[in-house]
Structure 1
Amino acid sequence: MNLKQIDFLKIRNKLEALNLLQVFQKEDEFLYFMKAPLTAKQFLMDTVFGSYLQSEIGEKNLNLLTSMFKMDVLSTEGFENVTKSFDALYEFKSLSLLNVNYPLQGRTQNGGSHINYKFNYEAFVEHLPERLKNSQLLTEKFKEQITKIAFVYQYDVSDMVAIYEAAAKSRQVINFSQLNLKAKQHYEQKNQLLTIKQKDITQTNLIDQVSPQIIIQKYAKTDQQGIALSTATAMLERNSVEPGIINVILMLVLKHKDGILPTLNYMEVVLHDWLNKGVQTTEDALNYSTNLESQWEKKKSVQKVSEPDWLDDYIKDLANMEA
């Protein structure tokens, strides 16, 4: 074979990872045992392989692929299973059992993905409620299924206990499909909680992270957005300050100039004035703009303003746009 050793090892290792090849080594001697590939159903139902395939081709393509193997199953509702068992027709006259002490020809069964992920299965069983502990938990196959799910979703013991409890409702024996379904639901639920938590950010972080383009598109007049965006870009390039400071100035000026952003020179005069007044961070800029708004409001009315309306409205609108 015209194949470099490093390329050969890459191919070999991939076959090993997909559980299609077993390799044994004794010094410089190697033994290779090929395994038959999984059927389409076995591959797709395997937690690790199925998830890997979905990550490679996407959920839409995976659904299209699985539909090719969809099978219509006749309903047996109302029918009685009258299939004869082996011992209904045959009986053994001797108690001597067949004993073959050498390997026979036949396909080597592929047990699916093989992983070395270390999941604390003993702790998992220990933390289960007593009412849910049964002989199924003692089988190696079930242990392997639990470990695969924990590996794919990176679950800890507490996660797997919650999933098992959810799958065990109204069921005495839990099947793999039910575990997989509950694992997916648990994952989606956790992600939703994380997403909500991520959106709960401070005003300072929001102003600091939002793009000036979003501010301009939202609050500048349509025919002025191109010029305004060019001005904002130049400010960012020419001044080494936190982007949030420029964002605060953009919002303040666009409000008081009715959606029209003045020239670059004008904007930089404002920026440098703020810097000279001690504004160094986005939080400083927010506080300073609040004070400016309060002073302007006091000139119009004796009523005190704790937080200017423009800031509150802009914050809400920006949060909605970032959602």
Structure 2
Amino acid sequence: MDKIRRNDQFYVFSKSNISAADYQVLSIFYMPIIGPNAFALFSILCNLLNRQTLSSEKYLHTDLESMLNTKLSTIEAARNQLEAIGLLNAYLYNDCFAYELKMPMSPSAFINDGVLGQYLQAAVTEDRFKKIVSLFKISKIDKTGFINVTKNFEDIFPAIQKDGFEPITGLIENGKSANINIKKSNFDFRLFTDSIPEPFLDKKYLTDEIKKKIINLSYVYELDEIEMKDIYLKATNSQSEIDLVKLSRYARDAYKQRMQKSQQTEDEVITHVESKSKPKDPVDYFKSVSPQTLLSDLSGGNVSAADLRIIERLIDELKLDRGVVNVLVAYTVKIKDGMMPSYDYFEKVGNNWKRNQVDTVEMAIDYVKHLNSEYEKVKNSGGSKPYSKSKKDDKPEVKIDWLENYIQSQE
């Protein structure tokens, strides 16, 4: 059905214009994997776009044969490669194809992807891989001992009522724009460092990596500055060097101890949980909910430290946004009928989301809706579920409205 013929029409659309930096990533990182034919096809499709409307006129595939000076079978193979690597989405309606161009990943996202970085290294050899990666490296500024005192958006700008304001869709997106600096953590680093006795604090060891790990552990296990101070002291040696493995383990231990105490005062815990007000908007919910609360909402019971460890690793190792991790976990647990799968399973799903450039909560929710829509289409057509490897996998009816219904039930 999706085989192309010479007289089939097509048009191209995109959400953003390709930049010179995108072309550099495309030519140096992508082309060794996809080859010159797919690279040329992507370039031609980009140049057919109207830069203002980000869509093209309708063309025939025989036009592509002429422009690329190649056969239709070569064009189809190149198109399949672009689709597989995440640079193109293809849609078909009444013998007319719509090709949605997707912008290349950033250099960091590409190299740290669980699959693409390895494919590139295999394609160009390890020595060349190191050489071309060095083209994208930036000088690292030593911020040892510095504390980030940058103001957050809500610190400067007053809150306003959202009533009456509707989001405007269909606007040009210029690649990866920098979002305003909305606070993602209430962790007070100054309070944390001030609470550590001076002989045990050597700020040269308090690197950006360590700071980020401390904030993430505080977020995942819901530990305050003083609790993190105690964990920090346990994880340092006599020279004030920090052991990240111990830091993570002691954070889990602190969480386990708190859960044991909570079980002894179960009535108080239930009252506390019920008194928490949840955001009514699913986007706000996923942006603000802690991993512990999310898993508790999904399971209706206590949350194990092992499950929180999975979320900790998703944030640390896949470098996913916290809110996106929340959506990914909620979606995965739902399709697994409430079961929490292993980290390896989450890693595969997470890498797929990264390849599809799902990097905001809004995009994650839209992506889940898209997956559900695709499943419904296959289900209604009587076909088999995409990527299903067994009958066991061909069962879940995934819907995002379960969350909206849940939140409404909390009102």
What's the TM-score once normalised by structure 2's chain length? 0.29
> Between Structure 1 and Structure 2, whose CA radius of gyration is higher?
1
What's the TM-score once normalised by structure 1's chain length? 0.36
